[in-house]
């Protein structure tokens, strides 16, 4: 069976998505991947005459999402029949892009009709890459494009607003990357290709992150932010025969809707690790729990995923702390500058400090 990876390419108006899709096909085909594209469903419906203004938005979004899910399932099933051992399924926008165009009531109604939930829709993709609208950071490019493209109707303000809604819709996904407009457009697309390559493991899947001990945050304020998503995590460590290799399984989600994963990490340095991850069925997850390392406690934590200044921040709170929390920032490169929100109060950086790694917390609760 081929290894199938399914990613989403999304972004605000004039973010560079069309160019990106072309570059992805060229680059990763050259690396030996069979690249498949699931075309944007909304565009197909509208150009085919199924225009949203001829019915209710809720009905249109229900039809759109139903077609989109069917297309993605079909492509993924077909990918399993290919001879190539590496298949990359690229979705031109994903299921949760639709949430940016709905009220909370409409979104809830669509979930009910389709008998699904936000966790299932969001986390069945392996990674999500968002290209920030040119209206945020390259406004002159956006205005020029808008003048030459009659289909581009959003003002720069509206484009930025939609961009924020799209990022908020995907916030909470474990592998969300936001590609901003720093540098020129060629550099932007190059960073996207590098991010995808790093995720796929070319040559190996590095995870680069920094970690900080912070004061316990204002949870009520966090939960009210549109760019913040709450996730409940139960993490269990399995037996490993190698000292630098960590094996764990996770239950991740909320409101009784969960996804299950197995992660294997090999430490390279204080900030860099090789990480491989695979999705599990609930049965596989329960089976692997039988190999739990009983010398370690399960880690239970509530994670607040926050998109801020084109960064992806994760704030972890634990039941045994009421004064402290852990902030993690995943980086594109080790020298990347971090911009901290003003409501995050840092105590100290603990990157590479074993006492604050999840495995250490499973052994012993530190006293900062």
Q: What CATH number should be reported for the domain holding residue 189?
A: 3.40.50.300
Choosing from 177, 200, 223, the residue where a domain stops is: 200
* Whether 44 and 181 share a structural domain: yes
Q: Which residues pair with 152 in a beta bridge?
A: none
Q: Which stretches within 80-129 are classed as H helix?
A: 104-114, 118-123
Residue 368 lies in a domain: no
* Whether 48 and 136 share a structural domain: yes
Split into its structural domains, the chain has a count of 2
Residue 118 lies in a domain: yes
Distance CA 75, CA 73 (A): 6
Give the start-end residues of each E strand in 216-358: 228-237, 245-254, 257-267, 272-280, 299-308, 311-317, 324-330, 346-349
Q: Which domain holds residue 101?
A: 3-200
CB 205 within 8 A of CB 274: yes
3-class secondary structure, 250? strand
Residue 41 lies in a domain: yes
Q: Give the per-residue pLDDT at 366.
A: 56
* Whether 337 and 257 share a structural domain: yes
Going by the DSSP 8-state scheme, the letter that residue 295 receives in this structure is: T
Q: Give the per-residue pLDDT at 207.
A: 67
* Whether 190 and 294 share a structural domain: no
Tell the residue number behind the tokens 């239950």, with chain if given.
Answer: 251
For residue 69, what are its two tokens?
Answer: 């899910």
Q: Give the per-residue pLDDT at 300.
A: 93
* Whether 268 and 283 share a structural domain: yes
* Whether 136 and 70 share a structural domain: yes
* Whether 196 and 211 share a structural domain: no
3-class secondary structure, 321? coil
For residue 288, what are its two tokens?
Answer: 């692997």
Q: Give the per-residue pLDDT at 125.
A: 96
The pLDDT profile of the chain, 368 residues, written as one tens digit per residue, is 788 999 999 999 999 999 999 999 999 988 889 999 999 999 899 889 988 887 889 999 999 999 999 999 999 999 999 988 899 999 999 999 999 999 999 999 999 999 999 999 999 999 999 999 999 999 998 998 877 766 677 899 999 999 999 999 999 998 999 999 988 999 999 999 999 998 887 655 566 789 999 999 999 999 999 889 999 999 999 998 887 888 999 999 988 889 999 989 887 776 677 777 888 889 999 999 999 999 898 999 999 999 888 888 999 999 989 999 999 998 877 788 899 999 999 999 999 888 888 888 888 755 55
Q: Which residues pair with 9 in a beta bridge?
A: 92, 129
* Whether 266 and 221 share a structural domain: yes
CB 234 within 8 A of CB 298: yes
Residue 337 lies in a domain: yes
């Amino acid at each position: 069976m081929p290894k199938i990876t399914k990613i989403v390419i999304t972004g605000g108006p004039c973010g560079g998505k069309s160019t990106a899709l072309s570059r992805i096909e060229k680059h990763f085909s050259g690396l030996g991947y069979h690249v498949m594209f699931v075309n944007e469903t909304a565009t197909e419906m509208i150009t085919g005459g199924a225009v949203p203004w001829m019915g209710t938005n809720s009905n249109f979004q229900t039809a759109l999402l139903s077609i989109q899910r069917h297309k993605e399932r079909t492509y993924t099933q077909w990918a399993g029949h290919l001879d190539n051992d590496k298949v990359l399924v690229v979705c031109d926008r994903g299921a949760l892009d639709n949430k940016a165009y709905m009220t909370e009531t409409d979104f809830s109604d669509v979930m009910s009709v389709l008998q699904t939930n936000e966790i299932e829709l969001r986390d069945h993709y392996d990674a999500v890459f968002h290209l920030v609208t040119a209206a945020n950071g390259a406004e002159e490019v956006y205005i020029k494009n808008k003048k030459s493209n009659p289909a581009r109707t959003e003002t720069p303000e509206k484009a930025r607003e939609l961009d924020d809604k799209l990022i908020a819709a995907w916030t909470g996904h474990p592998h969300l990357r936001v590609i901003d407009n720093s540098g020129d457009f060629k550099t932007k697309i190059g960073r996207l290709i590098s991010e995808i390559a790093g995720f796929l493991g070319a040559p190996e899947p590095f995870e680069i992150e920094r970690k900080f001990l912070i004061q316990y945050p204002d949870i009520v304020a966090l939960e009210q932010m549109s760019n913040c998503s709450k996730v409940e995590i139960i993490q269990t460590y399995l037996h490993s025969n190698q000292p630098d290799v960590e094996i764990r399984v996770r239950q991740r989600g909320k409101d009784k809707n969960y996804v299950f994963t197995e992660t294997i990490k090999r430490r390279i340095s204080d900030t860099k690790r090789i990480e491989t991850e695979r999705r599990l069925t609930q049965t596989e997850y329960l089976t692997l729990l039988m190999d739990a390392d009983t010398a370690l406690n399960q880690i239970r934590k509530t994670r607040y995923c926050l998109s801020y200044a084109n960064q992806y921040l994760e704030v972890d709170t634990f039941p045994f702390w009421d004064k402290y929390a852990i902030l993690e920032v995943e980086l594109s490169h080790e020298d990347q500058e971090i911009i901290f929100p003003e409501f995050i109060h840092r105590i100290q950086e603990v990157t590479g400090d074993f006492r604050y790694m999840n495995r250490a917390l499973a052994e012993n609760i530190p006293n900062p």
